[in-house]
Structure 1
């Protein structure tokens, strides 16, 4: 941030105004509402800085417009780069000329609010959107744009549409968002986030009494790419019987990516309590613990003696705390039988701070030699990519990389973001498989100073980072090669 006091005041006014507007826009895009209400956005134009001399950075273009940029993806056939606006506009990037052009909009695919985009190995574009319904309900819609034979034109159709289901009328309606295509092109995996912060009752001001999560929320769907007009019922048993449920117990896996070995990973955004954010190895039939286990620890609201007034992990900086969503909750659902899959542990040295539930102090897990799953609270991990082509130098070869959306405090805990942790950076993830049970990884910061980076794509040894804040820039991060 600018060190001049007047500039700071202007930025705070900008963020406050933007946050208020975003709260009323929450009916359409709740991931961003949460971020804006709790964390704010960077209102200045950040200049990313490499933390190693062998990494180069350049600005490709800026994408600032009335609608924010939310996704950046490549066409696997030719490495053409595209980015998606929240209103459904799709732009193709010209890397040589450092500009972009509009190629599709809502008149093509009929989605006016989008949060997810992916492109399959045959060039088909998959878009994930949401639509508001009466009685404070919503539905998810997934469309595909298939290449017309003998041309580069796309024919758009509905792959799947969900039944209507109740929103919570809070900042925690995550709705349908992230999507990834299987390497063989036969399936898409779609995240349908939770409608609660941590499993609490959200009745939408009495419209839906005693309602927490519903059949279509807090899960990852797996759908065949050759599907047409598939119907997604708001009933978990029906979805399972149709083979559409891939994983359960997720809060909001906004981004997913396949590693070079074919394993699927997902980032998980945590609640408004100081519980760590997650990286998960996603597997068919797995339950990842939400809302009973979050960030490798127990959600205390499930226990009958919970007293939020004595909870050192609650901060008044956060929306769910301010609104009293952490409460003694005797009707909290019983934990399901069977194993709940734990997040991947981070061995440090970076992004591994936690608040000690005993003394309330912020500590560094790797310095203490303690297990930690997986990232500092409120980092909002996004933009997961892998060096699938194996072209980077041995230190990074076939490894993962991940962004942090939120602004943190590198020396303290003054902001509603990661504590004693900067945020808004790019991490290198050196993953190691531990038998067939899980992974472990080391996280190291390699680039800092983005303006709310929201998504990433990788082409060869170049990582392209898309920003949600500032000028919504696209930055090319050139990594060392073999």
Structure 2
């Protein structure tokens, strides 16, 4: 999987804030220039903490012929594991900084994997995809249950989807993110969209007038004790079976439970300059895709849409080059039920946007505004929470998140976040707003990762896995109480 493809998978204080942003801007500029020269070339750049009380060290490098895609812990004993795209699973010894291959495709029969989670009883869940005939794909979710007698894992298929059509574009996100419920009874699995923004993708006429299908752009909830469940490519059937947890999600590549049990998910946005989202995921919720993206309307749903006057279309991006943004009279009618909005970000960081009126890049919090939720094209993922409350009061029980895409710290020369270098670790201070939503403040803590793709948290330490460079695992030590 190349970087472009994976990108599309994913793809306060007034005076004090200005002073802080000026300092961070200078630091970010230096390290981003270096990263632009070395990212994903096998050369690892040392990440830099922006605070003296946060320490960063390399645990191990995981570079091999297959990219590293997930890092998880066994909640029974805090043993750390990472997953390769080819299905290899390695155990990490944090004391000796060594790795051991423990499972591969010969054990679980998946050769292309994008998701991994471990339940409270130690069961490993893997999410895989397989290409089939006629430019179709299918999802396969397996579990490795520990045999009580032999202590070895017995692998079996938990669920398998029907074959469904790919779009043969960079927007075939397929099945990827997975999380286990706190009681271990359910797994939540993301199925990404097959389109950039709900446009027709007919695969040169093979699937006429096809946009999203029953199995795409949704989050499924499946009983963890299931065996050989069949997931039909029909939204009504999936709902009747109780498998649809949420819909209207473009590509929720990562999900995590907060200490209070609320489920959150990061959302990768389209090629148009629309904000990337963090959502509070709830049963039966519709999160707007493809009608609402990043807290704003998708203009292609309107009959008078003219892409030539759209200030949010950059010619650098594939969907614009291909003409996927067009006047579209047959665009589906917007649902009548209320669509759930993303969590607003009040800054100070990761909150740049392009003004749809004048096309200029602006900093929302500097202007006393918020965006929903992050600077466009950041590809947010690697979401974790201090569920144990072991960190210092400033961070206790808060969220932390990575951003995958390199960006331009000074302008908009790259197909990534503008005036925002990304590839960082953010602190997310979430505040609940009644029972309707949350708001958050995002602050950068560590910069200079090489395409960080996933994170795990053990006590006060956040472990960051890189997709680029030497695919390092970095330990970020947070201050404690």
2:468 corresponding residue in structure 1: 469
2:277 corresponding residue in structure 1: 278
Question: Is the Cα contact below 8 Å between 1:47 and 1:449 reproduced in 2?
Answer: yes
TM-score (norm 1): 0.93
> Deviation at 1:284?
0.0
1:258 and 2:233 aligned: no
Give the whole-Å Cα distance in 1 for the aligned partners of 2:337 and 2:287. Answer: 11
2:414 corresponding residue in structure 1: 415
Give the whole-Å Cα distance in 2 for the aligned partners of 1:395 and 1:175. Answer: 37
1:242 corresponding residue in structure 2: 241
Give the whole-Å Cα distance in 2 for the aligned partners of 1:42 and 1:356. Answer: 32
Write the mapping of 1:9-158 to structure 2, written as runs, cut at 5 A.
30-32=5-7, 42-43=40-41, 44-158=43-157
Write the mapping of 1:328-477 to structure 2, written as runs, cut at 5 A.
328-477=327-476
2:26 corresponding residue in structure 1: none
> Deviation at 1:256?
0.1
1:8 corresponding residue in structure 2: none
1:301 corresponding residue in structure 2: 300
Change (3 A) 1:33 1:350: closer
> Deviation at 1:409?
1.0
Output one character per residue of 1:79-118: Cα deviation in whole Å (capped at 9) or x when no partner: 0000000000000001011110100000000001000000
1:12 corresponding residue in structure 2: none
> Deviation at 1:51?
0.3
Give the whole-Å Cα distance in 2 for the aligned partners of 1:352 and 1:42. Answer: 26
> Deviation at 1:369?
1.2
Could you list the structure 1 runs, at least 4 aligned residues long, displaced by more than 3 angstroms after superposition: 30-36, 39-42
Give the whole-Å Cα distance in 1 for the aligned partners of 2:434 and 2:131. Answer: 45
* Mean CA deviation greater in 446-455 or 313-322: 313-322
> Deviation at 1:35?
7.1
Give the whole-Å Cα distance in 1 for the aligned partners of 2:205 and 2:391. Answer: 54
> Deviation at 1:152?
3.1
| Unaligned runs of at least 5 residues, structure 2 | 12-35
Change (3 A) 1:34 1:264: closer
Give the whole-Å Cα distance in 1 for the aligned partners of 2:436 and 2:401. Answer: 22
> Deviation at 1:32?
5.0
SS at match of 2:353: strand
Give the whole-Å Cα distance in 2 for the aligned partners of 1:359 and 1:57. Answer: 41
Give the whole-Å Cα distance in 1 for the aligned partners of 2:79 and 2:204. Answer: 46
> Deviation at 1:34?
5.7
Superposed CA RMSD: 1.4
Output one character per residue of 1:117-166: Cα deviation in whole Å (capped at 9) or x when no partner: 00000000000000111000000000000011034310000000000000
Change (3 A) 1:268 1:33: closer
> Deviation at 1:42?
3.5
SS at match of 1:349: coil
Question: Is the Cα contact below 8 Å between 1:31 and 1:173 reproduced in 2?
Answer: no
Which protein has greater RCO, CA pairs closer than 8 Å, 6+ apart?
A: 2
Output one character per residue of 1:418-467: Cα deviation in whole Å (capped at 9) or x when no partner: 00111000000000000000000000000000000000000000000000
Give the whole-Å Cα distance in 2 for the aligned partners of 1:306 and 1:184. Answer: 47
SS at match of 1:348: coil
TM-score (norm 2): 0.93
1:166 and 2:141 aligned: no
Give the whole-Å Cα distance in 2 for the aligned partners of 1:350 and 1:373. Answer: 13
2:206 corresponding residue in structure 1: 207
SS at match of 1:366: coil
Question: Is the Cα contact below 8 Å between 2:7 and 2:379 reproduced in 1?
Answer: no
Question: Is the Cα contact below 8 Å between 2:139 and 2:160 reproduced in 1?
Answer: yes
Question: Is the Cα contact below 8 Å between 2:401 and 2:428 reproduced in 1?
Answer: yes
Change (3 A) 1:34 1:398: closer
Give the whole-Å Cα distance in 2 for the aligned partners of 1:101 and 1:145. Answer: 18
Give the whole-Å Cα distance in 2 for the aligned partners of 1:151 and 1:447. Answer: 43
Output one character per residue of 1:247-297: Cα deviation in whole Å (capped at 9) or x when no partner: 000000000000000000000000000000000000000000000000000
1:225 and 2:215 aligned: no
Give the whole-Å Cα distance in 2 for the aligned partners of 1:45 and 1:199. Answer: 37
Figure out how many residues of one structure are paired with residues of the other and give that number. Answer: 455
> Deviation at 1:33?
6.1
1:10 corresponding residue in structure 2: none
SS at match of 2:6: helix
Question: Is the Cα contact below 8 Å between 2:263 and 2:280 reproduced in 1?
Answer: yes
> Deviation at 1:371?
2.7
Give the whole-Å Cα distance in 1 for the aligned partners of 2:80 and 2:454. Answer: 13
Give the whole-Å Cα distance in 1 for the aligned partners of 2:366 and 2:149. Answer: 59
Give the whole-Å Cα distance in 1 for the aligned partners of 2:10 and 2:371. Answer: 23
Change (3 A) 1:32 1:86: farther
Question: Is the Cα contact below 8 Å between 1:35 and 1:406 reproduced in 2?
Answer: no
Give the whole-Å Cα distance in 2 for the aligned partners of 1:41 and 1:313. Answer: 27
